[in-house]
Amino acid sequence: MPRVASAAAEHIGAQIVGARTRRKMTQDQLAAATGIDSSNIRSYEGGRATPSIHTLIRIATALDVEPGSLLDGLTLAHFSASGRRAS
């Protein structure tokens, strides 16, 4: 079954991309620094999967940011029944 994007996953993914690009890291470098497969990094950044708390902390540590910063701006609206946030 293909992974389906959700508004929450997309939001977290965008936060990861922003932190990674500020650090001038590639997805492969982030994968190596975290021990997470690069295909999973791509899925998180693309909003097709939501990282677990443990994985989020591993990513944040590698990016030298607080784990909570990857959740900044996330609201209950991101978890609506439709899985998509209204614009």
Residue 43, domain CATH = 1.10.260.40
Average pLDDT, the chain: 90
The domain total for the chain is 1
Does 57 fall in a domain?
A: yes
For residue range 41-78, what is the model confidence (pLDDT) as tens digits? 999 999 999 999 999 999 999 999 999 999 999 999 99
What span, in angstroms and rounded, lies between the C-alpha atoms of 41 and 78? 20
Q: Is the pTM higher than 0.75?
A: yes
DSSP 59-86: HHHHHTS-GGGGGTT--GGGG-TTSS--
CA–CA dist 30, 18 (Å, integer): 13
Show the domain range for 59: 7-74
Within a domain: 59 = yes
